[in-house]
Amino acid sequence: MRQPPPTRVSRTSPASAKWRELDGDHLVASAFGHWTWLAPGEWKNWIEGHVEEESELHERLKRGHLLRSHLTHPDLVDRMSSRRAFLRSGPSHHWIALTRRATTPTPLWTSPDEPGTDMPTETLERVLDTVFMTTSPQVEITLGGGEPFLKPELIRHALAYAQRKNAIARKTLTVVIETSLHRPEDSWANLASDEGLLVRITPASHRAEDADESAQLEWVRRLHGLQADQGADLRDAGVERIWLPDANAAKKPSARITRWLDAGVRAFQIGPLRALDDRIHVAAPTPPSLSAQVAFHGAVIDRLVHGDEGAFERTAATWIARIRHGREPRHPLLRNPSASGTGTLAYGCDGEVYSCRDGFLSALLGEEAFELGSVHQDGYHDLVGHPTVRAMLMATSLEGQPGWSEHPYASLCGTDPVENFWRQGSLHGRMTDSPHAMIQIGVLDHLFRLIRTPDEKRDAALDAWGHRP
């Protein structure tokens, strides 16, 4: 029987919060990331201020910081300060285009033997000088392109120079190779193993059906074999697979995941299809619907969290860290406000600096709105204080946007100004109506349904996800 709606709203009992109806109940969340489930009758009593002290509901609301009388200002300040600490740290993720060469030429990338498309070593050193000017105590350097493995001498020079810089800066340093692994070579695995590189496999810059996944899997097995010979711990062997859902994969993701798990991969990341993907020929010709993309992401989460391999999905792990532990991961690219310019910078082959990797790709397509300057002409503070960075910071603060300002997921979600620009014509986008936002909301609905009913094995797996870097 449907409960009558609240007849009045108490101005003294409930703390400020937002709610969302899911499966007949209310998911109630505060602006500080606290949350709880309320049945319709409980929600009505909470709204009207009819919650009896000493009751189970009162205790649950108290634990969830959803009763005004039990809020303490210092605790809320500490919570919000912790959740927004990244705004005080400076960019922690730095993406560097070592080359525009690729194994297969595309509108963005040149052929493997094209001259004049690599980053000069002097420019690479100046880029790394800029990277280590960041005030962030953690730094992740991603070497990309093009196909960075085509320039092994640049990879080795970047590693050696970064290590010398870090001997003085003493930051927590991570170096990642971002590769499409299209037509992979054995020498690439030798280099990754010898240098102890983390490898992030991204969708190739050509149509998804052109990728030879069997060759990629064989390459990963070879890499893990080399690492095992060197005595490496293969429980987290340093290979991450990024997928964009396509119409076929969205139907049966489990078999595909199992193939990569059997190859030893334990880190996955599911990205929503972006407006740029079709322009740079990454997306499949017939992309799946938004509901199919949400279902695909949810199926991947379910397969990994209920499996025994100890694998995880990075986007969900970011959300679990916020939902269950109230903490931010080390390098979250999905955050509020956006990481563009404040959490991440990207560097082109000639030393030009962009707000993020997609800002660099936009420039290759002729749109230079996200270029901040050059390492040869501009200082670090000029780059991070650029008017474009300030504009993106204001445009992507969700609490001030219609739709997000009353949404319970505002403290968990994030938006992408480059995606908004290409898909909807502005840095703001159309708030919660954008495809990017709708997919986030759908996957978060799936996660909250997943964690609502206690399950010891699943909860232990999710807790481990939430403590990932």
Q: For residue range 17-62, what is the model confidence (pLDDT) as tens digits? A: 999 999 999 999 988 888 999 999 999 999 998 898 889 999 999 8
Which letter does DSSP use for residue 340 in this model?
B
> What domain count does the chain have?
2
Counting Cβ atoms within 10 Å, is residue 103 exposed (0-12), middle (13-18) or buried (19+)? Answer: buried
The whole-number pLDDT of residue 282 equals: 63
| SS3 of 187-245 | HHHHHHHHHCCEEEECCCCCCHHHCCHHHHHHHHHHHHHHHHHCCCCHHHCCEEEEECC
261 located within any domain: yes
Mean pLDDT of 331-357: 92
Within this chain, do residues 124 and 64 fall inside the same structural domain, yes or no?
A: no
Q: 3-state class of 182 per DSSP?
A: coil
The whole-number pLDDT of residue 249 equals: 56
299 located within any domain: yes
Within this chain, do residues 125 and 263 fall inside the same structural domain, yes or no?
A: yes
3 located within any domain: no
Q: How confident is the model at residue 431 (pLDDT cuts 50, 70, 90)?
A: confident
Of 333, 362, 380, the one marking the end of a domain is 380
Within its chain, how far is the Cα of 258 from the centroid? Answer: 23
Of 33, 48, 83, the one marking the end of a domain is 83
The whole-number pLDDT of residue 215 equals: 92
415 located within any domain: no
Q: Which residues contact residue 294 at a Cβ distance below 8 angstroms, ignoring those fewer than 6 apart?
A: 439, 442, 443, 446
- Return the ∠ at Cα 110 (arms to 107 and 111), rounded to 5°: 125
Token output for 310: 């100890």
**Is pLDDT of 9 > 70?**
no
Of 380, 396, 428, the one marking the end of a domain is 380
- Signed CA dihedral, 220, 221, 222, 226: sign only: positive
Tens of pLDDT, residues 393-409: 999 998 888 888 889 99
The whole-number pLDDT of residue 289 equals: 87
Name the residue with tokens 């969290």: 305
Q: 3-state class of 469 per DSSP?
A: coil
Within this chain, do residues 74 and 103 fall inside the same structural domain, yes or no?
A: no
Q: How far apart are CA 227 and CA 441, in angstroms?
A: 39
**Who wins on pLDDT, 246 or 114?**
114
Q: H helices of 239-287, where?
A: 253-262, 275-279
Within this chain, do residues 78 and 93 fall inside the same structural domain, yes or no?
A: no
The whole-number pLDDT of residue 5 equals: 59
Q: What percent of the chain has pLDDT over 90?
A: 60
Within this chain, do residues 274 and 364 fall inside the same structural domain, yes or no?
A: yes
**Who wins on pLDDT, 367 or 232?**
367
171 located within any domain: yes
169 located within any domain: yes
The whole-number pLDDT of residue 207 equals: 47
- Signed CA dihedral, 374, 375, 379, 385: sign only: positive
Residue 95: give its domain's CATH number. Answer: 3.20.20.70
HSE-CB for 237 with a 13 A CA cutoff: 28
DSSP H or E segment with residue 465: helix 456-466
Q: How confident is the model at residue 172 (pLDDT cuts 50, 70, 90)?
A: very high
**Who wins on pLDDT, 79 or 404?**
404
Within this chain, do residues 38 and 133 fall inside the same structural domain, yes or no?
A: no
Q: How far is CA 453 from CA 173, 346, 444, 459, in A?
A: 38, 42, 15, 10
Within this chain, do residues 234 and 182 fall inside the same structural domain, yes or no?
A: yes
Within this chain, do residues 43 and 121 fall inside the same structural domain, yes or no?
A: no
Within this chain, do residues 101 and 212 fall inside the same structural domain, yes or no?
A: yes
DSSP string, 80-115: HHHHTTHHHH---EEEEEEESB-SS--SSSB-TT-T
Which letter does DSSP use for residue 67 in this model?
B
Q: How far apart are CA 77 and CA 82, in angstroms?
A: 8
Within this chain, do residues 173 and 236 fall inside the same structural domain, yes or no?
A: yes
Owning domain of residue 26:
18-83
**Nearest C-alpha neighbor of 340 from the set 145, 86, 65:** 86
Q: What percent of the chain has pLDDT over 70?
A: 92
DSSP H or E segment with residue 161: helix 152-169
130 located within any domain: yes
Pairing of strands 25-29, 35-38: antiparallel
Report CA dihedral (301, 332, 358, 370) to the nearest 10 degrees: 150
Within this chain, do residues 101 and 62 fall inside the same structural domain, yes or no?
A: no
**Nearest C-alpha neighbor of 99 from the set 159, 141, 151, 162:** 151
Within this chain, do residues 118 and 59 fall inside the same structural domain, yes or no?
A: no
274 located within any domain: yes
pTM of the entire predicted model = 0.92
For residue 437, the cross-strand partners are: none
**Is pLDDT of 415 > 50?**
yes
Tens of pLDDT, residues 120-171: 999 999 999 999 999 999 999 999 989 999 999 999 999 999 999 999 999 9
Tens of pLDDT, residues 204-241: 654 444 457 899 999 999 999 998 888 776 555 589 99
The whole-number pLDDT of residue 237 equals: 56
Q: Which residues contact residue 352 at a Cβ distance below 8 angstroms, ignoring those fewer than 6 apart?
A: 363, 371, 373, 374, 375
- Return the ∠ at Cα 157 (arms to 156 and 163), rounded to 5°: 90
Task: Tell me the chain's radius of gyration from C-alpha atoms.
Answer: 23
Token output for 269: 């990341």
Q: How confident is the model at residue 284 (pLDDT cuts 50, 70, 90)?
A: low
Q: How far apart are CA 296 and CA 303, in angstroms?
A: 11
